[in-house]
Structures are given as structure tokens and as C-alpha cells.
């Protein structure tokens, strides 16, 4: 039955990616302008470049070529990184972003859950208010401000961590922390409210009535049930964090995917934008699928119909 | 109490002795001389094939790994791949004698490598118009002549003959660029699109070779032991790290992990100057306001923007010197003509010395409200209206960040708005700015634009205003101006040529499509152990080839 479910989700996923690719393809071409514009570029050369990359063919034909290549796993050549296949660019940068993202997620999830649970259990006390304030700060501080502050104080002033670049374990600490804070705060907030909601459920009262200790009730029932909303946001959160943050990667000079999201569009690099969109779309679909499967596995009441 | 060493203690003592002994015998390793810099332009360099030139950022690496015929050394031009050359009396024929050098893979550097490079430049490369002085260059690019007719010939392996369309005094300076470096056609044929994207796809003949290249991360150059002048190259290694954020660069520089840093503001520069770490140099380049005489097809706008009185009205309302002094804190030069004063016009003389009559004559250094009002009255009369708000609304195109007050855009916008004009800002970044500004779109009324010099001669600032040029979205079509430039191109007497160019500058300053705003001052901070860093006013600003590290 799980196999049938997976097969059905796979078909839906393929259709979704196809729709995503098509919409993005035509939307990108609607943006006016020539990717090869620049000072001193002779008109004949612009023409020659457009021909070389097949941009002078009718749009439908270009779309057909694009789909055909996509089926063969070829995302084409980047228009702004001359000579570099888009697949190579993504495959080179993605592992770095993933590595940073995973570290950030571990931090976010563990610290976020911790603060959320602690705040809920000590509701109304100073600890709760402290957590709420920390959460507010975490959500509000722009990542470039945090990154800049961390880099200056920990890197230059106190000299305890490397300032930039992704070379060893120490150089992952600051960027992972800067990247994790926003998601950490969100998880803490959701976990806290989820815990507080669950505490009013019937089964909690039953558990206490049966004579279980507070610790047993909290760990066996309250936390586990409160985790469900977190699981829902985890899908997109992981996708966002793992595919690179433009700001953190720029400030800490990390060779990840983040900067391509901005520069590819600015440079009108059609192929790179398409490649990035499909990559991110596929990844997001995968994460959502994993979350749904996790739901089915964790909660026996949910049937993966 | 007597001291006994247990067997464990003996072993420990023995190991310790061996360790100390080996360190004592290890001679102190002379650390490699490594220069660490940020990748110029703060964005990854995608392709290092010299013929894919689009920016000077790429050239900063290319000039180290390729040797052109001649090379810039400070303000001099010195022999490089060519050991000597002759220029004919009419200035049109250059004959170079190449020295015996090899590519990094062992093949000899021959004259045909240069021919192949120039042919490829005109057939394939975006910016070949810089070298249009070469006979048939423009025709080859426009596919009107066969590449074999290009004025670059190799009569034998060690001789290269370049024929020009006219005497071009700045031509040797042009040849210092990495854009004119030789190339290996056999490798290009073998690698196809991949040529220039990896260190292995190319061969090198420069003072350094491209040792490793992680595209988004780090470029490592190592000294080329077979370089003909290897004895004078002191550096062992040059590292370019990709550091997209200037604040990160500053932090690394302050932490002594980066050797070179370009300050973002004048106050930053002054702190480094106080520590004796700042180099100030002549940096070419211009920032200006360009008017679209075609008015994007709107007849009223075209009439307004083509009226020289309109440009003068705005020009006399600008306080260029005030802006430089108060906003830029002195980090700039108020520009009243297109060409910077420090540009060389013939050996021993700069543009400022010959062009004095034009300075401040057509555009003022400080605002002159009385004269501005005179021009305003003329504009209103020309347009047949009585008040300023009857003039059509205009858009101001810029690529600058409008919130950064250290740039010209907010100042210019505020001046125009204060005059009562209805001007809206159109900010475009990256390629979109070029798509909007350039032909064929030319979708701007007024644009904040500029120019960077390709060689050290006033002609680079003037040539793109010719009618035949479509560059920079220009709409200036003036037969007298074209005639002056053509005449200058064919004059062998350099002083006479300078006088003609002064006339051209005067004409353009009077009725041209552009009002100059600012010329640049260059400044860079280097660590105290970096010696002999040279600078240049055109092309690549920093020349690190002969740098020595003395720690």
C-alpha cells in the first residue's frame, strides 16, 4: 500500500515539475531584454551569441528543445557563466549549501524544540517570557545584520572563529548559527503554542487520571502530539534552508547556491534560472512528500489512502 | 631523593629528545611568497579565455597568466612576448620580433598564435571594436571581409606585422591588454565551449600559470618557472578568493588575512592612510548624465532633450565641486569636460595641460544659479511654455542604488526636482540596465552613465559619441564631430592631433548629449609587507606582477 502511495505521489510530482518548468519558461521569456547586452558589445556579436545559444529560434521550438534536453538530464549551458553547463553549476554548489543547511537545521530543530517545550512547560514564568522575547528577536533581526555582527565580533574583535570561507568545522559555526536563527524562532513559537493546545486534550486528562507522572505524560503524549504542526512546516523550512541563503552565503563567502538565485535573474540567464527553479521545485516536492510519509508512519490514524 | 626514570619515563624522554632533535635540525622553511586578494568585481569569473573579455575583472587574472606583445609596468610600456618592434614613419605598420618563449605545455609561442587570437577576437568577441584601428577589423566582424584579410600577419614564426587604418598613437598601450594575448587555436578546437572554463583547458605563457581554479571559491596562480623574465618575478603564488561582500573583505584585511582592500568610503580610506597602508593613484573613468535626443519617440520630449539649453540649465544648477568636497569627502574630481585631466595625450603631456581652455567653460565647477536661470528662460521659450511644470515628465535611468548618498544619483535627482522638473527614477540593475540603455531599446530620457578607459588616450572618451557608434545608447549624430575625430585619427603630428581633439572636446561639451559629472580618484589599501604594487589609470587598476612580500 505504501508502494501504491509512493507511485501516485511520484506521478503527481512529475506533473507538478512539468507545470512549474513550463510556467517559468514562458514567464522568463516575457521579461524584456537580451542576456547578452553590455557596453562595447557589437551588434553582430550579440546576434552571433543569440544564434549560438539557440535564442533566435521560434519560442515553441526552444520550449521543445528545452523539454527534450530536460528528459535527458541536460539543463543546457549557462548564458552568463560562459561555457559552464547548468547541471555542473548546480551540482558544484548544492552540496555546500546542503552541508550548511543541514547544520543549520540541526541547530534550529534541536534548539527550537527545546525552547518551545521549556516555554510551554513553564508557562507564565520568567523563562516563558524570556523565550518569547528571544523568539521575537530571532524572527525580527535581518540575517545580514546578524551575520555582520557575528563576523565582526567573533572574527575580528575576539578572533575566536574564522571570518569567512567554508574550509573547516570552525568556519561552519557562525554561518550555521546565522542561518538557523529564523527557523529556530519559528519552530520554538509553533512548538510552544502546539504544546499549550495539546495540554487541553482529553487524552492528556485521561493519562493524568490513570496516574502517570507529569514527566511521563509530557514525554509520551504531549510532546509527541505537539510535534505534528512542526512536521508540516518542516518540509518547506528544510527546502528553504538547504538550498542556500543569499545573505549568509554572501557575507561569509560560502560557495553555495544562494547567490545564483539573485544573480541569475539579474543577468537574464534563462538556462540557469530554469535549472535553479526546477531544482528547487523538485527538492521542495521531495521534502513535502517525505513529510507526508513521516506523518503516515508516526500517526497510525492517518492512512496513506 | 634520587631521581629514577621508569621504563615508561625513559621512552617518553627518548621520544622527546628525538622530537626536539628533529626540529632543531629542520632548517626554518622559507615561507612561499603568497599574495592573497579578493576576486575583482566580487563575482565569480566564469571564463578566463582572453577573447571572452567583458570586464577588467577577468583581465586582472588574465594579465598574469598570459603575456601579450608588450606589458604595462606602472606608467611605462615594456617588452613582453615581443623583444623589440619597429613602427613605420606613417605610423600604420608595426613589426614585432618575438622572443623565444614557450607555452606552459612546452609548445613554442609563435607569431601565428597572435594571428589566430586577433582573428578570433574580430570573429567571436564582444568587445573587438576597441581594436578597430586594425585594418579590416570592423569588416571582418561585420562579415564583409574574410578573416584572412585582417591586418595581422605572421610572415614567419618570430615576426608579427600589424597594419592599422591610420596612425594610432595609443595602439601600443592597447597591446598591453590581456585581450591582445596570443592563443592556442589547437586547444580551442579541442575543448570547444569548455575552453577557458577550467585550468586544464588552456595553456599559459605569462609570469604565472593557472594552477587551480574552483570557480565559485578560489583561483590559485603559481609562478611560471619557464617565464622569460622569471628572475624578476618575486611572488611564488597569487590567490584570488571569492568574497562577494566588501565588509567581509575589510574584516579579513583588518585580520591580516587579505593583502589588498579597496576602501568603500573616504573615511575608511583615511583610517588606512593614517596607518600608512593606502596607495592613491590616477584612475581613469567618467560619470556623466546622458540625454536621449530621440526622446523615446515622443516629439515633445525629443525637442526638450535635444535642446542644448536644457542640458546647460541642469549643468549650471549642479554643484560638482561641492558634491566632491562635502559628500565624497574629496574622493573624486569634479568633471567639466568628458576626458579626465590626467589622461596622457602625447608623451610627456597630459590632457589637462592642453585642454585648459575648455575646463569650466561649458560646464561649471560650482553651481551658477544666475546663468542657470538664463538657460531656463531659453528652454521655456524654445518649448513655447511659460512655466516649468508645463514641461513633459521625464524618467531618470540609473544602475546605482538610490539610497546610497555617496553616489551621484540621489544628488542629481534632487537638483532636477528642485528645478521643478517632473523626474521619476528608473532603477535597473545588472543586464537590465544595459538592455534599457543600449541600442536598440534606448528606453531612457535621461541616464546616469559613464565610461571606463580602454587605453590612456582621450580618444577612448570621445570615440563612442561618433555617429557610427551604437555603444552606450548614444543618440549624438554630428557630422562636424565625426569629421574632427577622423581628422585626428589621420594626423601623425601628435601636437596637431591634440589640438584637434581639444576642438572635438569643446564641440561636444557645448552641444553634446552628455554632461560630465565626476572623474574618479583611485585608492587601495595594501598590507605593509606588500611591496612594489603598481597601479594603472586604464584597464586593470592594480598591477601585482612585480610585487614582493617582505614579512
Mean residue pLDDT of chain A comes to 87
Could you tell me if A303 and A38 are in contact, meaning their C-beta atoms sit under 8 angstroms apart? no
How far is the C-alpha of A290 from the C-alpha of B24, rounded, in Å? Answer: 60
Cβ–Cβ gap A163/B251 under 8 Å: yes
- Please state, in angstroms and rounded to a whole number, the distance separating the CA atoms of residues A181 and B316: 52
Question: What pLDDT does B468 receive?
Answer: 86
Return the residue in A32, A33, A264 with the most chain B beta carbons within 10 A, the one to mutate for interface testing: A33
Q: What is the pLDDT of residue B481?
A: 96
Residue with cell 519617440: B297
Which cell numbers in the block locate residue A150? 557575528
Mean pLDDT of B354-377: 94
The answer to whether B474 contacts chain A (CB < 8 Å) is: no
Backbone phi, psi, residue B38, to 5°: -85, 145
Q: C-alpha angle with apex B73: B68 to B78, nearest 5 degrees?
A: 55
The answer to whether A144 and A152 have CB atoms below 8 angstroms apart is: no
Mean pLDDT of the region B139-153: 94
- Strands B278-291 and B446-451, sheet pairing: antiparallel
Pairing of strands B394-398, B278-291: unpaired
CB B473 within 8 A of CB B438: yes
Compute the Cα dihedral for B459, B461, B465, B469 and give only its sign: positive
> Is the minimum CB–CB distance between B37 and chain A shorter than 8 Å?
no
Contact at CB, B243 and A93, closer than 8 angstroms? no
Distance, CA of B95 to CA of A78 (rounded, Å): 40
Under DSSP, the state recorded for B270 is H
A107-147: per-residue pLDDT in tens? 999 999 999 998 988 888 998 898 889 888 888 988 888 89
Q: Is the C-alpha dihedral spanning B459, B303, B447, B132 positive or negative?
A: negative
Q: Tell whether B142 is within 8 A of chain A (Cβ).
A: yes
- Cross-chain Cβ contact A42/B247 below 8 Å: no
Q: Which residues contact A281 (CB under 8 A, 6 or more apart)?
A: A16, A17, A20, A21
pLDDT tens column, B9-21: 555 555 555 555 4
The DSSP bridge pattern shows strands B530-531 and B159-163 to be: unpaired
Euclidean distance between CA atoms B440 and A36, whole angstroms? 13
Q: What are phi and psi of B78, to 5 degrees?
A: -120, 155
User: Is B43 part of the contact surface with chain A (CB cutoff 8 Å)?
Assistant: yes
C-alpha cell at A196: 499549550
Give DSSP secondary structure letters for chain A. Answer: -HHHHHHHHHHHHHHHHHHHHHHHHHHHHHS-S-TT--TT--HHHHHHHHHHTTTTS-HHHHHHHHHHHHHTT---B-SSSTT-BHHHHHHHHHHHHHHHHHHHHHHHHHHHHHHHHHHHHTTTSHHHHHHHHHHHHHHHS-HHHHHHHHIIIIIIIS--S-SSSS-SSHHHHHHHHHHHHHHHHHHHHHHHHHHHHHTTSHHHHHHHHHT--HHHHIIIIIHHHHHHHHHHHHHHHHHHHHT--HHHHHHTT--SSHHHHHHHHHTT-HHHHHHHHHHHHHHHHHHHHHHHHHHHHH-TT----
Cα–Cα distance measured from residue B529 to residue B546, given in angstroms and rounded to the nearest whole number: 14
**Does the pLDDT at position A31 exceed 90?**
no
Whether residue B439 lies within 8 A of chain A, CB to CB, comes out as yes
Asked if residues A138 and A279 have their Cβ atoms less than 8 Å apart, the reply is no
Residue of A nearest to B451 (CA): A39
Going by C-beta distance under 8 Å and a sequence separation of 6 or more, which residues neighbour residue B459?
B170, B485, B488, B489, B501
* Whether residue B28 has pLDDT greater than 90: no
CB contact under 8 A, A83 and B128: no
pLDDT for A300 beyond 90 = no
Residue of B439, B404, B440 whose CA lies nearest to B425: B404
Pairing verdict, β B548-549 and B82-87: unpaired
Average pLDDT over residues A2-11: 84
Nearest CB partner across the interface for B472, out of A39, A151, A268: A39
* Beta-strand relationship, B394-398 and B423-427: parallel
Question: Do A83 and B245 count as a contact with CB atoms less than 8 A apart?
Answer: no
CB pairs A-B closer than 8 Å:
127
Residue A31's closest chain B neighbor by CA?
A: B432
Place of cell 543600449: B438
Q: For residue B322, what is the enclosing H or E element? A: helix B320-322
pTM of the full predicted structure? 0.86
CB distance B428 to B288 below 8 Å = no
Q: Which of B129, B165, B134 is nearest to B69 (CA)?
A: B134
The grid cell for A71 is: 528528459
Nearest to B43 among A83, A159, A263 (CB): A263
What gap in Å lies between CA B546 and CA B227, rounded to an integer?
Answer: 13
Q: CA nearest B253 in A: which residue?
A: A156
Residue B125 to residue A45, Cβ atoms within 8 A:
yes
If pLDDT is split at 50, 70 and 90, which confidence band does B1 have?
A: very low
A117-142 burial code (b ≥16 CB/10 A, e <16) = bbbbbeeeeeebeebeebbeebeebe
Give the pLDDT score at B10.
Answer: 59
pLDDT tens-digit map of B476-512: 999 999 999 999 988 989 999 999 999 999 999 999 9
The nearest CA of chain A is from the CA of B174 a distance in Å of 15
Share of chain B above pLDDT 70, in %: 94
Cα–Cα dist A253/A166, whole Å: 8
> B64 by DSSP, 3-state: which?
helix
Question: How far B15 CA sits from the closest chain A CA (Å)?
Answer: 31
Each residue's pLDDT tens digit, A57-104: 999 999 999 999 998 988 999 988 888 999 999 999 999 998 999 999
Spatial neighbors of A62 by CB under 8 A, at least 6 apart, are A54, A55
Strand partners, B261: B525
- The pLDDT of residue A28 is 86
Closest CA–CA distance from residue A220 to any residue of chain B (Å) = 47
Find which of A84, A156, A175, A253 to mutate to test the B interface (most B CBs within 10 Å of its CB): A253
Query: Would you call A82 and B255 a contact, using CB atoms and an 8 Å cutoff?
Result: no
Q: Is B122 helix (H, G, I), strand (E, B) or coil?
A: helix
Amino acid at each position: 500500500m505504501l508502494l501504491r502511495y509512493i507511485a501516485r505521489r511520484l506521478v503527481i510530482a512529475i506533473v507538478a515539475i512539468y507545470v512549474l518548468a513550463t510556467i517559468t519558461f514562458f514567464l522568463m521569456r516575457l521579461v524584456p531584454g537580451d542576456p547578452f547586452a553590455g557596453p562595447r558589445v557589437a551588434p553582430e556579436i550579440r546576434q552571433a551569441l543569440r544564434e549560438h545559444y539557440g535564442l533566435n529560434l521560434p519560442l515553441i521550438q526552444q520550449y521543445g528543445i528545452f523539454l527534450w534536453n530536460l528528459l535527458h538530464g541536460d539543463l543546457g549551458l549557462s548564458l552568463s557563466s560562459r561555457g559552464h553547463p547548468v547541471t555542473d553549476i548546480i551540482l558544484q554548489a548544492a552540496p555546500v549549501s546542503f552541508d550548511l543547511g543541514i547544520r543549520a537545521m540541526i541547530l534550529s530543530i534541536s534548539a527550537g524544540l527545546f525552547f518551545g517545550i521549556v516555554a510551554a512547560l513553564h508557562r507564565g514564568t520568567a523563562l516563558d517570557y524570556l523565550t518569547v522575547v528571544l523568539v521575537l528577536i530571532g524572527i525580527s533581526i535581518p540575517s545580514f545584520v546578524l551575520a555582520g555582527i557575528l563576523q565582526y565580533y567573533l572574527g575580528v574583535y575576539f578572533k575566536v572563529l574564522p571570518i569567512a570561507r567554508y574550509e573547516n568545522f570552525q568556519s561552519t559555526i557562525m554561518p550555521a548559527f546565522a542561518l538557523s536563527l529564523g527557523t529556530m524562532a519559528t519552530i520554538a513559537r509553533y512548538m510552544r503554542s502546539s504544546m499549550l493546545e495539546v495540554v487541553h486534550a482529553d487524552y492528556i486528562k485521561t493519562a493524568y487520571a490513570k496516574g502517570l507522572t507529569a514527566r511521563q505524560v509530557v514525554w509520551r503524549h504531549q510532546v509527541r502530539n505537539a510535534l505534528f504542526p512542526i512536521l508540516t512546516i518542516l518540509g518547506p523550512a528544510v527546502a528553504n534552508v538547504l538550498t542556500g541563503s543569499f545573505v549568509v552565503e554572501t557575507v561569509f563567502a560560502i560557495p553555495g547556491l544562494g547567490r545564483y538565485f539573485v544573480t541569475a535573474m539579474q543577468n537574464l540567464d534563462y538556462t540557469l534560472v530554469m535549472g535553479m527553479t526546477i531544482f528547487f521545485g523538485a527538492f521542495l516536492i521531495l521534502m513535502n512528500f517525505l513529510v507526508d510519509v513521516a506523518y503516515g508512519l508516526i500517526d497510525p490514524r492517518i492512512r496513506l489512502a | 631523593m634520587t631521581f629514577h626514570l621508569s621504563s615508561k619515563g625513559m621512552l617518553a624522554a627518548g621520544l622527546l629528545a628525538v622530537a626536539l632533535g628533529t626540529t632543531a635540525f629542520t632548517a626554518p622553511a622559507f615561507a612561499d611568497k603568497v599574495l592573497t586578494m579578493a576576486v575583482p568585481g566580487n563575482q565569480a569569473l566564469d571564463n578566463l579565455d582572453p577573447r571572452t573579455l567583458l570586464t577588467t575583472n577577468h583581465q586582472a587574472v588574465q594579465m598574469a597568466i598570459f603575456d601579450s606583445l608588450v606589458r604595462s609596468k606602472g606608467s611605462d610600456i615594456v617588452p613582453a612576448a615581443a623583444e623589440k618592434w619597429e613602427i613605420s614613419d606613417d605610423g600604420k605598420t608595426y613589426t614585432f620580433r618575438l622572443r623565444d618563449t614557450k607555452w606552459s605545455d612546452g609548445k613554442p609561442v609563435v607569431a601565428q598564435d597572435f594571428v589566430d587570437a586577433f582573428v578570433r577576437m574580430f570573429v567571436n568577441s564582444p568587445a573587438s571594436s576597441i581594436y578597430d584601428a586594425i585594418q579590416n577589423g570592423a569588416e571582418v566582424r561585420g562579415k564583409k571581409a574574410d578573416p584572412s584579410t585582417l591586418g595581422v600577419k605572421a610572415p614567419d614564426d618570430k615576426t608579427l606585422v600589424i597594419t592599422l587604418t591610420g596612425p594610432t598613437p595609443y595602439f601600443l598601450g592597447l597591446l598591453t591588454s590581456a585581450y591582445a594575448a596570443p592563443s592556442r587555436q589547437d586547444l580551442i578546437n579541442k575543448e570547444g565551449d569548455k575552453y577557458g572554463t577550467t585550468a586544464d583547458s588552456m595553456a599559459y605563457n605569462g609570469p604565472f600559470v593557472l594552477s587551480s581554479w574552483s570557480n565559485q571559491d578560489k583561483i590559485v596562480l603559481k609562478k611560471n618557472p619557464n617565464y622569460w623574465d622569471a628572475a624578476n618575478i618575486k611572488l611564488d603564488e597569487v590567490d584570488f578568493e571569492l568574497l562577494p561582500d566588501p565588509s567581509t573583505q575589510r574584516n579579513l584585511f583588518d585580520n591580516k588575512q587579505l593583502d589588498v582592500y579597496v576602501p568603500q568610503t573616504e573615511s575608511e580610506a583615511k583610517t588606512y592612510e593614517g596607518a600608512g597602508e593606502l596607495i592613491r593613484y590616477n584612475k581613469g573613468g567618467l560619470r556623466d548624465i546622458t540625454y536621449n535626443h530621440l526622446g523615446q519617440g515622443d516629439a515633445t520630449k525629443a525637442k526638450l532633450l535635444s535642446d542644448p539649453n536644457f542640458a546647460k540649465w541642469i549643468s549650471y544648477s549642479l554643484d560638482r565641486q561641492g558634491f566632491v568636497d562635502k559628500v565624497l569627502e574629496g574622493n573624486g574630481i569634479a568633471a567639466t569636460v568628458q576626458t579626465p585631466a590626467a589622461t596622457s595625450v602625447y608623451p610627456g603631456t597630459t590632457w589637462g595641460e592642453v585642454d585648459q581652455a575648455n575646463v569650466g567653460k561649458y560646464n561649471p565647477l560650482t553651481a551658477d544659479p544666475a546663468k542657470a536661470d538664463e538657460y531656463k528662460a531659453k528652454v521655456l521659450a524654445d518649448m513655447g511654455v511659460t512655466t516649468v511644470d508645463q514641461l513633459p515628465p521625464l524618467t531618470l535611468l540609473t544602475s546605482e542604488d538610490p539610497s546610497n548618498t555617496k553616489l551621484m544619483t540621489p544628488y542629481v535627482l534632487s537638483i532636477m526636482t528642485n528645478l521643478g522638473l517632473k523626474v521619476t527614477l528608473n532603477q535597473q540593475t545588472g543586464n537590465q540596465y544595459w538592455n534599457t540603455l543600449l541600442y536598440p531599446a534606448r528606453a531612457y530620457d535621461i541616464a546616469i552613465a559613464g565610461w571606463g578607459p580602454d587605453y590612456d588616450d582621450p580618444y577612448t572618451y570621445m570615440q563612442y559619441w561618433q555617429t557610427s557608434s551604437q555603444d552606450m545608447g548614444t543618440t549624438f549624430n554630428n557630422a562636424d564631430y565625426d569629421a574632427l575625430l577622423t581628422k585626428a585619427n589621420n594626423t601623425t603630428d601628435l601636437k596637431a592631433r591634440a589640438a584637434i581633439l581639444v576642438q572635438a572636446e569643446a564641440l561636444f561639451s557645448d552641444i553634446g548629449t552628455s554632461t560630465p559629472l565626476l572623474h574618479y580618484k583611485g585608492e587601495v589599501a595594501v598590507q605593509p609587507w606588500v611591496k612594489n604594487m603598481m597601479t594603472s589609470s586604464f584597464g586593470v587598476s592594480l598591477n601585482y606582477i612585480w610585487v614582493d612580500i617582505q614579512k
